Amino acid sequence: MDLEYVRCNLCGADETQLVYPSTLDKKTHLRVEAYHCTNYGYGVHHAIVRCQNCGLVYA
């Protein structure tokens, strides 16, 4: 699955530090239910990064 690169939503910077690598392989397609607060895919996520400018953590 090709994801869209996004800048930090808080400050607009594009320099990030990887906090947690993705646990998905590139062929995995998540259903909308995967983004609920409780779901079938607990522990499965995209890469989680921290903005080097403001510290916001996002996926």
Given the structure tokens 């499965």, which residue do they identify? 44
Q: What is the pLDDT of residue 40?
A: 66
Quick check: 1 pLDDT over 60? no
* Cβ neighbours of residue 27 closer than 8 Å, sequence gap 6 or more: 1
The one-character DSSP state at 20 is: E
Q: What is the pLDDT of residue 18?
A: 95
Q: What is the pLDDT of residue 7?
A: 95
Choice between 1 and 4, residue whose per-residue pLDDT is larger: 4
pLDDT tens profile 13-59: 999 999 999 888 766 666 666 666 776 667 777 889 999 999 999 98
Q: What is the pTM of this model?
A: 0.68
CB atoms < 10 A from the CB of 16, how many?
Answer: 20
Which structure tokens are listed for 46? 């995209």
Beta bridge partners of 58: 49
